[in-house]
């Protein structure tokens, strides 16, 4: 992996949505500064190879599918779906050493294609964050979407770890009317995950949820909870309930994931998915809600965060000495945990080399 | 101030035209590589702040006006018009140290908004170049315009300090028919200002002025005079007269200002204003003349100077060893004076630090 | 010559096609990172000057033709067609030392304008590659074309030196049905030229040529031969014949030139010319064939090679450790010969300086 900033490599990243990858396509995407080819075998299983022929560095996605193999369009080298060079049409057909293409562990689960950019020996599918709610819920209650952003992925993670921004950046449908910012959120760290949670009495609940409660205008208990997994995978739950303490059983809850994958130091793939415990058979509501979330993101979050990045230039956040607020607690914890993980990984790599 | 080349910081620069700044607007412009927010208080007085929230570096111009204050749209910090952070909605509302935004001295005068990027303690409004002719003249005889250029500001200043270019670059309406280039201009330096002046007998006067003389086709005395103030503020007077030595009383004279403000090392804000002592109540002539000047600039000067910059790349003029002509005398004097001022300022800053 | 990578300077490069240069035009093109002005004298002879006035670095192509001279549009310096500054309108008209513009040896021959970027004393027109077939053939059998590519010129040369790519990248009209790749080409080096040749029995010949043989579907002898001249001038002959060993007398043969001239390290001017020994009086066929070649190039070669460059970034080919195949033999020989020539030239320059 070549990159100008250090990324965590031994981690699962989302490479694409299941819906982005057609049966026949040679899909490609740059991930952690490396061009990656992704395609489905004839049985539907997706595979990921470096998108670069070892001969003359032609992109393999410009090539042809032949069964489960891919043939480079420039000089005809043929690779199987593990990246092994199977055929050279040149000379006596001998295949030179080092002709294999790097392959990446890739797992399709719950609507996401998870890739492991680091050492394949360390890739364990059991450590993929649990998004199984998207497979358990009916299709009419699930949506996945992809967005591209011209900024560093940590700024996007900060945005989710500090949800107080919704009262200042977003409209009344999804804000808390000023309830959130004064709260001191509860930040905990469990097994390398960082959890941030806000609980408050809403008067009334934010309309997005409140209109599905028995008494939309009456007070309701609400919470936000974000669970961060390295490097930038965040499960967000939002709930409102009246006359009970059990949000899931008696209230209305959104089960969202916000997942960022660095394309490069200054650009990011953003994957968002959502399901819920109400109106789960209403496909029209599902579509409308996703369009609304996408609109809020592309019209409000994205311009702000890209402008923030433009102002920061290529400077690191800490180099610019930001003023910190109580609402930054989760974002800062995440940045510290991630930094320690990256440094540990790089230290291990240096020790392995020396 | 952060920049790759050294700018003179303790100096008045034009940030904008008065007409560019609406009553309610959060106007922003990059000046000397720094993004600046400019807006009018409710009483109309303009103020300038760094366009960057100290919390997460969101641009403040994306925020909201509340009375004379501005509220960051990202997390709701509120600043008064002096840049002081007045309110944080977060936690217990305590405002962290270093939460203030830098403010810049800003003076509105004669149609320009003058900004002082350097040490505010040194900013004296009395040192702003005198453009009071634009306030004294009737509106029908005054025009201001803004232009953006993709080149270093010193090339634009050279262009005004060496007016011989008009005979080679511009059309017959505003050239001298070859009279200018053979003259040795008179260059003087007074109190840090550089003055260059050409006087000649025109046969006849340049049509732009000559058609307003008693005998347009007859000989006339003409002059050009440019007075340069650091860093790149130039007053240009052009006059023609017949049967007298008093241009202003008996002849026709243009009173122009050419003012350049660096956006960055390779881009420049260009402000131009003009008034005159003839047809001062003719608003249609006024409009037509400004359109003509603007056309000459954008179709003739701007392409040439941007092409010159493209050929020079990021090289300094002197590094490329230009061949110098007699007409360069004013431009070279200006470059030397400015260089000495910048070096003196940087030396003083180093001494202050050590 | 200023450039970030080392180019061979003492060599003939094609600067333009004869058809690109009108009688009155001030044509300009960047060659080896230097902007060059090219124009025809009144007698039609083309000349090449550095496209940069020595006074203030204005591009001379923005100026005016006066007889065989060119006048800078910015301040009026006038240069003759050898680059000598003949006139300054400034002051007493004295012309400063070092006011001349560099001129380049330029020869028009066979539809190409050949330029010598290096030491003029070493430029001998007799060393220009022989393209005289384009002057000997009737116009109805000759075509020249210009293309721009965003990649290093050596990748484009590799593409011609390894013609096996045609079976993988191009359609059936111009491929060999897999015959080419298994062959071990014959690579020789004669007087600094590198020659690569493939001979095979085609069953049948490639349709482009085969349809002009007596028996298009019957077997035919075929050959490809590329003769490389430094820095990137390649004569390509392609032939097919039946019942004879004499391709030119009894068969059909294409006489092509592929010529690359670096614009910069990462962009290249590509000149292609073609003639043939069949249907030589058929102008419509000539036009159609050239359109077909141009289509194959712009739709197939160009996207692949530009993608290859994008994947390589600014890395040198060898730094990326390419896997080599038998078909690379010619390209690698060319790269080695060229590298040795550049190093020898640079060594000679260093010795001359010390």
Condensed to tens digits (0 to 9), the pLDDT of residues C67-86 reads 999 999 999 999 999 999 99
User: For position B5, what pLDDT does the model report?
Assistant: 77
CB A224 within 8 A of CB A237: yes
Q: What angle do CA C62, C63, C66 make, to 5 degrees?
A: 150
Q: How many angstroms away from the CA of C227 is the closest CA of chain A?
A: 21
User: For position B1, what pLDDT does the model report?
Assistant: 34
pLDDT, mean of residues A176-197: 96
**Residues B217, B145 share a domain:** yes
Give C76's contacts in chain B (Cβ within 8 Å): 164, 167-168, 181
Sheet containing strand A69-71, edge to edge, reads A64-66, A69-71, A78-79, A85-87
Tell me if the pTM is above 0.80: yes
CB within 8 Å: B304 and C58: yes
Q: Residue A269's closest CA among A151, A149, A152?
A: A149
| CATH value at residue B97 | 2.102.10.10
Nearest to B52 among A169, A311, A324 (CB): A311
Model confidence over B250-292: pLDDT tens digits?
999 999 999 999 999 999 999 999 999 999 999 999 999 999 9
Range of the domain at B305: 133-344
Using a CB–CB cutoff of 8 Å, tell me whether B84 touches chain A.
Answer: no
Mean pLDDT, chain B, whole residue set? 96
User: For position B2, what pLDDT does the model report?
Assistant: 37
The domain boundary residue, chosen from A85, A102, A127 = A127
**Residues A143, A112 share a domain:** no
Give C165's contacts in chain A (Cβ within 8 Å): 74-75
The number of beta carbons lying within 10 Å of the beta carbon of residue C353 is 6
Band (C1; pLDDT cuts 50, 70, 90): very low
User: Which residue from A minimizes the CA distance to B91?
Assistant: A182
**Residues C101, C141 share a domain:** no
pLDDT over 90 at B349, yes or no: no
pLDDT over 70 at B4, yes or no: no
Q: What angle do CA B209, B210, B215 make, to 5 degrees?
A: 150
Give A303's contacts in chain B (Cβ within 8 Å): 62
Residues paired with residue A241 on neighbouring β-strands, in sequence order: A221
Tokens of A180: 């959130």
**Residues C148, C103 share a domain:** no
Model confidence over A1-29: pLDDT tens digits?
334 579 999 999 999 999 999 999 999 99
Tell me the C-alpha distance between C11 and C285, whole Å.
Answer: 35
A307: Cβ contacts below 8 Å, ≥ 6 apart: B58, B59, B62
Tell me the C-alpha distance between A176 and B53, whole Å.
Answer: 23
Please list the alpha-helical segments (H only) found in B5-120: none
User: For position C2, what pLDDT does the model report?
Assistant: 37
**Residues C288, C172 share a domain:** yes
The domain boundary residue, chosen from C110, C127, C144 = C127
Tell me the C-alpha distance between A210 and C244, whole Å.
Answer: 90
Q: Is residue A158 part of a domain?
A: yes
CB C216 within 8 A of CB C207: yes
Nearest to B324 among C58, C71, C96 (CB): C96
CB within 8 Å: A56 and C322: yes
Give C185's contacts in chain A (Cβ within 8 Å): none
Model confidence over B24-48: pLDDT tens digits?
999 999 999 999 999 999 999 999 9
User: Residue holding tokens 């007269």?
Assistant: B241
User: For position C4, what pLDDT does the model report?
Assistant: 56
**Residues A42, A19 share a domain:** yes
What's the structural domain count of chain A?
Answer: 2
User: Which residue from B minimizes the CA distance to C95?
Assistant: B325
User: For position A350, what pLDDT does the model report?
Assistant: 80
Nearest to A322 among B56, B76, B88 (CB): B56
**Residues B122, B174 share a domain:** no
Tell me the C-alpha distance between B209 and B203, whole Å.
Answer: 13
pLDDT over 80 at A54, yes or no: yes
Q: Residue B321's closest CA among C57, C75, C76, C2?
A: C57
User: Residue holding tokens 């004379």?
Assistant: B68
Classify C149 as helix, strand or coil. strand
The domain boundary residue, chosen from A101, A127, A153 = A127
Q: Is residue C105 part of a domain?
A: yes
Give A62's contacts in chain C (Cβ within 8 Å): 303-304, 307
Q: Is residue A118 part of a domain?
A: yes
Tokens of C175: 């491929």
**Residues A237, A325 share a domain:** yes
Exposure string for C8-45, b = 16+ CB within 10 A, e = fewer: bbbbbbbbbbeeebeeeebbbbebbbbbbbbbbeeeee
Q: Is residue B328 part of a domain?
A: yes
Tell me the C-alpha distance between B274 and B134, whole Å.
Answer: 8
pLDDT over 50 at C53, yes or no: yes
Tell me the C-alpha distance between C132 and B62, whole Å.
Answer: 66
Using a CB–CB cutoff of 8 Å, tell me whether A321 touches chain B.
Answer: yes
Tell me the C-alpha distance between C133 and A52, whole Å.
Answer: 40
Model confidence over A226-238: pLDDT tens digits?
999 999 999 999 9
**Residues B79, B157 share a domain:** no
Using a CB–CB cutoff of 8 Å, tell me whether C84 touches chain B.
Answer: no
Phi, then psi, of C139 in degrees rounded to 5: -60, -30
Q: Residue C330's closest CA among C222, C184, C199, C207?
A: C184
CB within 8 Å: C311 and A57: yes
pLDDT over 60 at A309, yes or no: yes
CB within 8 Å: C56 and B182: no
Q: Is residue B266 part of a domain?
A: yes
Q: Is residue B153 part of a domain?
A: yes
Model confidence over A83-119: pLDDT tens digits?
999 999 999 999 999 999 999 999 999 999 999 999 9
CB within 8 Å: A89 and C167: yes
Tell me the C-alpha distance between B151 and B148, whole Å.
Answer: 9
Half-sphere exposure of A204 (CA within 13 A, CB side): 16
Tokens of B115: 């900004």
Q: Angle, to 10 degrees, between the axis of helix C329-353 and the axis of helix C153-161? A: 140
Instruction: List the beta strands (DSSP E) in C265-309.
Output: 267-276
Q: How many angstroms away from the CA of B27 is the closest CA of chain A?
A: 15
Nearest to C327 among A54, A75, A99 (CB): A75
Kindly list the distances between the CA atom of residue A178 and the CA atoms of A197, A213, A292, B192, in Å, as whole numbers in the listed order. Answer: 16, 21, 21, 56
CB within 8 Å: A76 and C181: yes
Tokens of A11: 């981690």
A257: Cβ contacts below 8 Å, ≥ 6 apart: A129, A131, A233, A234, A235, A236, A271, A272, A273, A274
Tokens of A12: 């699962």
pLDDT, mean of residues A62-82: 98
Task: Give rounded-to-5 percent helix, strand, coil for chain B.
Answer: 30, 30, 40
ipTM beyond cut 0.90: yes
Q: Residue B98's closest CA among A325, A328, A184, A169?
A: A325
Half-sphere exposure of A330 (CA within 13 A, CB side): 30
**Residues B224, B79 share a domain:** no
pLDDT, mean of residues C28-44: 98
pLDDT over 90 at C349, yes or no: no
Tell me the C-alpha distance between B181 and C76, whole Å.
Answer: 9
Using a CB–CB cutoff of 8 Å, tell me whether B307 touches chain C.
Answer: yes
pLDDT, mean of residues B189-201: 97
Give A76's contacts in chain C (Cβ within 8 Å): 164, 167-168, 181
Tell me the C-alpha distance between B177 and C256, whole Å.
Answer: 54
For residue B204, cis peptide bond before it (omega within 30 degrees of 0)? yes
Q: Is residue B169 part of a domain?
A: yes
pLDDT, mean of residues A64-79: 98
**Residues C191, C89 share a domain:** no
Q: Is residue B349 part of a domain?
A: no
**Residues A250, A314 share a domain:** yes
pLDDT, mean of residues C218-243: 98
Classify B49 as helix, strand or coil. strand
| CATH value at residue C267 | 3.90.380.10
Mean pLDDT, chain A, whole residue set? 96
Using a CB–CB cutoff of 8 Å, tell me whether B319 touches chain C.
Answer: no
How far is the first Cα of chain C from the last one, in angstroms, to the nearest whole number? Answer: 19
User: For position A1, what pLDDT does the model report?
Assistant: 34
CB within 8 Å: A99 and C164: no
User: For position A353, what pLDDT does the model report?
Assistant: 72
Tell me the C-alpha distance between B35 and B327, whole Å.
Answer: 36
Band (B354; pLDDT cuts 50, 70, 90): low
Give C184's contacts in chain A (Cβ within 8 Å): 91
Which segment of A113-117, A213-217, B2-6, C89-93 scores lowest on mean pLDDT? B2-6
User: For position C3, what pLDDT does the model report?
Assistant: 40
User: Which residue from B minimizes the CA distance to C35?
Assistant: B311
Q: How many angstroms away from the CA of C189 is the closest CA of chain A?
A: 21
Using a CB–CB cutoff of 8 Å, tell me whether C299 touches chain A.
Answer: no
């Amino acid at each position: 992996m070549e990159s100008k900033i250090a990324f965590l490599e031994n981690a699962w990243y989302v490479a694409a949505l299941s819906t982005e990858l057609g049966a026949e396509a040679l899909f490609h995407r740059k991930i952690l500064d490396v061009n990656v080819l992704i395609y489905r075998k004839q049985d539907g299983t997706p595979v990921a190879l470096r998108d670069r022929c070892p001969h003359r560095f032609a992109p393999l996605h410009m090539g042809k599918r032949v069964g489960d193999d891919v043939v480079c369009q420039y000089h005809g080298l043929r690779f199987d779906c593990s990246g092994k060079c199977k055929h050279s049409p040149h000379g006596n057909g001998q295949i030179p050493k080092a002709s294999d293409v790097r392959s990446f562990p890739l797992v399709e689960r719950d609507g996401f294609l998870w890739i492991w950019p680091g050492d394949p020996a360390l890739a364990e599918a059991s450590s993929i964050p649990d998004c199984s709610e998207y497979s358990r819920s009916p299709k009419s209650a699930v949506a996945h979407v992809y967005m591209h952003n011209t900024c560093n992925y940590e700024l996007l993670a900060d945005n989710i770890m500090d949800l107080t921004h919704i009262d200042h950046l977003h409209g009344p449908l999804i804000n808390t009317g000023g309830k959130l910012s004064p709260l001191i959120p509860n930040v905990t760290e469990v097994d390398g995950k960082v959890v941030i949670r806000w609980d408050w009495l809403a008067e009334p609940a934010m309309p997005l949820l409140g209109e599905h409660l028995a008494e939309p205008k009456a007070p309701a208990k609400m919470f936000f909870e974000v669970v961060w997994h390295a490097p930038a995978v965040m499960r967000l739950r939002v709930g409102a309930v009246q006359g009970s303490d059990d949000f899931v059983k008696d209230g209305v809850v959104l089960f969202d994931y916000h997942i960022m994958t660095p394309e490069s130091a200054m650009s990011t793939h953003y994957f968002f998915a959502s399901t819920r415990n109400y109106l789960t058979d209403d496909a029209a509501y599902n579509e409308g809600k996703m369009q609304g979330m996408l609109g809020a993101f592309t019209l409000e979050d994205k311009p702000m965060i890209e402008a923030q990045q433009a102002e920061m230039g290529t400077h690191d956040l800490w180099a610019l000495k930001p003023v910190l607020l109580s609402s930054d607690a989760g974002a800062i914890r995440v940045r510290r945990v991630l930094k320690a993980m990256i440094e540990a990984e790089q230290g291990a790599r240096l020790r392995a080399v020396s």
